[in-house]
Amino acid sequence: MLRIVQVEGARTYFDTNVSDHHHFFFEEDEKVFDIPSGGVEVRNLPEPPEGTEIANVDIVVRLRRKRH
């Protein structure tokens, strides 16, 4: 099984780790890496519309090298 990681409009990455987790995206290298589990805490999500439930929250943290 593969998990789809949507980073940018037409750009899609596939992850063999199908557990709930988040990702770093290195903009210059266009590479995706897992954020270690327990590294992100999501709070205060809005109530979903009536008759629905939140299935998952995907967070992509974009990184770039510091400019001097």
Contact 32, 23 (CB under 8 A): yes
pTM: 0.73
pLDDT tens readout for residues 24-66: 999 888 889 988 877 788 899 999 999 999 998 888 899 999 9
Q: Distance between CA atoms of 57 and 42, rounded to whole angstroms? A: 8
Task: Report in angstroms the alpha-carbon separations of 47 from 20, 33, 41, 44, 67.
Answer: 20, 30, 17, 9, 39
Q: Distance between CA atoms of 52 and 46, rounded to whole angstroms? A: 12
Strands 23-26 and 31-34, by their bridges, are antiparallel
5 SS3 class = strand
- pLDDT of 47 reads 96
- pLDDT of 21 reads 85
